[in-house]
Chain A
Amino acid sequence: MSVNPKTISSDEPFFGHKACPGCGGALAVRLILKILGERAVAVLPAGCMSAVGFNFPQLCFGCNAAISTFAGTASMLAGIAAGFRAQGITDFKAVGFAGDGGTADIGIQALSGAIDRNDDILYVCYDNEAYMNTGVQKSSLTPYGAATTTTPAGKRLRGNLSEKKNMFEIVAAHGIGYAATASVGYLPDLLKKAEKAASIKGTRYLHVIAPCPSGWGIKTDETLDAAKEMVDCGLWYLAEYEHGAFTLNRDPKAFGSVRDYLKRQKRFAALTDEDIEFITKTRDAKWKFIRENFRRAG
């Protein structure tokens, strides 16, 4: 039953858009919409995917879709779900695709409200770790040490000094029906989770790491590699939250090199050995917590 590259739909629900080459966000949106199928109703707030996909008269979604206000992804989805329900329409898949800023910053209030009401929506955060559409500004999901245009790396400050907000566990703390982390570097895992999320009623949340080559300072053919490497070096993890419990889907015996992951990206160019040591220690503390509190898959 599980979707794989051979069985996934050949319909293209998101095409003709002007996303940059190597865009991780566009890939995540396209693949998840393929899984949701033609009953999908997609809502995208102000951000990269709405900027590249909705330029009248070049409208790029094959399914029903709309741009929402920046803060209003989840609330507009809630209204859509209520509007259909009120008309007796039940076979629809309301899905939101918001970036890291649209989710963890300006959209977190509406998302929290939707989870609280258990609105029948799937909320996907495509996380490229900064406001990329407006030219790479820091969001609360920008990692420690990343240079952005609003957290420039210089002699005095070396980029962003706050750590990535823990959206997955914040969402889980609401007691949501299903939440998961994923990465476009592990596509089979992402597809499986999207398929599972699609089959569940109530509010669901997918947090997908989706690199942005221009914002991260990598080549356009390195998107999937960087997304995979982030998981392999332990700076991201693949997990699920369901029935009140966390499950770790991938527990690497040994981590890949944090230094190699960081140093291939221009945004981390200014990091010193001490910075890398700090990031590594933070990773280790996180994994200690995960291994003590998350179940292992299978």
Chain B
Amino acid sequence: MAKRFLSGNEAFAEGVRLARPQVISAYPITPQTTCVEALASMVESGALEAEYLHVESEHSALSAAIGASMAGARAFTATSSQGLLYMAECLVYASGGLYPIVMMNACRSTALPWNIYCDQRDSLLLADSGWIQAYAASAQEALDLALMSFAIAESPEVATPFMVCLDGFTLTHTYESVEVPESAQADAFLPPYKTENRFDFENPKNLAFSAGPETNYLFKHQEQQGMLNALKAVPQTEARFAQIFGRAYPGLTEGYLLEGAEYVLITLGTVTGIAQKTASDLRAEGFAAGVLRLRYFRPFPSQEIAKALRQVKAAAVIERDVSFGATGAVHQSVCAALQQQGITTRVSCVIAGLGGADISEDDLRGVFADLAAGRHETRFAGIRERRDER
């Protein structure tokens, strides 16, 4: 296993190379581009044997990946922001057809106003599209998720496409020391893709058909079951991954200083780093802070969240999303999970880090202070302070 200094995008591309996709279809968009550029170089050098399709749009990128999957090939694509929204129709198509395509999304704000920097409004808008969604918090995790995503998506009881989300620039373009596994290890972890959900010349199949009111719900129920089966497939796959590669992952959520925590921040993606630092500093000051990071947003880790928040006094979601007229996608899912399980812990929603805005330790200390003071209203980070300045 070699250590290399890689950006999140480059690390992810290394993971994709090790997963040996047979078809890659891609259309450029900032900040996804350096990932698909790296893959193109690998195809050129022979490091990766794959059909690389230079499609003319994101819609075609995913449409072609679906076609490749129907032909029985392992398929990969990547996009971001407007590109993800442009291909939205194909997202529900892939999940409805149970095609276990893997896609990297570089999380980026959505226009208008135009903005190329990170928030999670693109991927969270498509949380209901039937794709597994995992959010990496480091380049190493991005590489490892590239490998694990194929294994989870393709496991027959899951058969669900998988979106790996990397925060734009914060992760896609930040360099870290990354362990790159050997091909032999990766091959032992991830065998070639085999499926019956494909065209067959011996026994021709009609795929992607219509299903009326009499049968439609049966297909949707099957899709829901596959997604829910990922709740088990994720820890199982991580255990197998740890055996082969020696790196362990904590399942669908990652707790930090939750033992004895009274106030907890809930995070998704790279904001976790500063949240953990803040909690650690507050602990040293005698304030019982903790962080619950959601590594997966779909399937939603309701049980893990309920377990983590059962005993705490209050929690806040650091939300890089707005569900206009409501709160944010993460907050709503967390609240629903708690309510369903009869847990009354108050969870507030702090909308922060939109369009790449920095989230500082001071911001997060303010959130903890609000929780301790019993202030729970949904707010945009930065707005209240500005009002105070007037």
Chain A positions near chain B (C-beta within 8 angstroms): 38-39, 41, 43, 50-51, 53-57, 59-69, 71-72, 74-87, 89, 92, 109-110, 112-113, 116-117
Known: A54-B206, A67-B208, A109-B60. A80 touches B71 (CB 8 A): yes
Contact of A56 among B61, B67, B200, B210 (CB under 8 A): B210
Cβ contacts under 8 Å, B22 to chain A: 83, 86-87
Across the interface, name the chain A residue whose C-beta is closest to B203. A64
What sequence of 0s and 1s flags, for each residue 211-255 of chain B, a beta carbon within 8 Å of any chain A beta carbon? 110010000000000000000000000000000000000000000
> A117 to chain B: which residues have CB within 8 Å?
53-54
Given A56, A62, A63, A110, which contacts B56 in the complex, CB threshold below 8 Å? A110
Using known A-B contacts A62-B204, A80-B68, determine if residue A72 contacts B55 with beta carbons closer than 8 Å: no
Q: Which 9 A-B pairs have the closest CB atoms?
A: A79-B67, A83-B71, A79-B64, A113-B56, A75-B60, A72-B63, A83-B68, A83-B73, A86-B22
| A59 closest partner in B (C-beta) | B206
Q: Chain B residues in contact with chain A, CB under 8 A?
A: 22-23, 25, 50-51, 53-57, 59-61, 63-73, 75, 89-90, 93, 199-201, 204-212, 215
Contacts A39-B201, A64-B200, A69-B93; is A55 near B209 (CB within 8 Å)?
Answer: yes
Q: Assuming A39-B201, A55-B210, is B59 touching A110 (CB within 8 A)? A: yes
- 15 of the cross-chain contacts (CB-CB < 8 Å) are A38-B204, A57-B215, A65-B207, A72-B63, A75-B55, A78-B53, A79-B66, A79-B75, A82-B53, A82-B68, A83-B67, A83-B68, A83-B73, A87-B73, A113-B56
CB-nearest residue of chain B relative to A110? B60
Q: Tell me if B63 and A79 are in contact (CB < 8 A).
A: yes
Chain A's closest residue to B64 (CB) is A79
Whole-angstrom distance between the alpha carbons of A77 and B23 in the complex? 13
Nearest CB in chain A: distance from B283 CB, A: 51
- Which chain A positions have C-beta within 8 A of B57? 109-110, 113
Contacts of A43 in B (CB 8 A): 67
Task: Give the residue of A54, A75, A85 whose beta carbon is less than 8 angstroms from that of B209.
Answer: A54
- Least Cβ–Cβ distance between B58 and chain A, in angstroms: 10
| Known A-B contacts A69-B90, A79-B66, A82-B64; A63 and B71 likewise in contact (beta carbons under 8 Å) | no
The docked-state distance in angstroms from the alpha carbon of A59 to that of B211 is 11
* A63 nearest CB neighbor, chain B only: B204
Residues of A within 8 A of B199 (CB): 41, 64, 66, 80
Look across to chain B and name the residue whose beta carbon is closest to the beta carbon of A86: B22
Residue of B nearest to A89 (CB): B71
Question: Complex formed: what's the CA distance from A74 to B59 in Å?
Answer: 11
Query: In the bound complex, how far is the Cα of B207 from the Cα of A110, in angstroms?
Result: 21
Q: Is the CB of A69 within 8 A of B63?
A: yes
- Is A80 within 8 A of B50, CB to CB? no
For A68, the chain B residues whose CB sits under 8 A away are 63, 67, 208
Choice from B60, B211, B215 contacting A78 with Cβ under 8 Å: B60
| Complex Cα–Cα for A270 and B212 (A) | 39
Are B53's CB and A67's CB within 8 A?
no
In the complex with contacts A41-B199, A68-B208, A109-B57, A76-B66 CB distance below 8 A: yes
On whether the beta carbons of B205 and A64 are closer than 8 Å, the reply is: yes
Residues of A within 8 A of B64 (CB): 75-76, 78-79, 82
Chain A residues with CB under 8 Å of B90's CB are 69, 72
Please indicate the chain B residues that have their CB under 8 angstroms from the CB of A59 in the complex.
Answer: 206, 209
Which of A57, A62, A66, A109 contacts B208 (CB under 8 A)? Answer: A66
**Minimum Cβ distance to chain A for residue B145 (Å):** 23
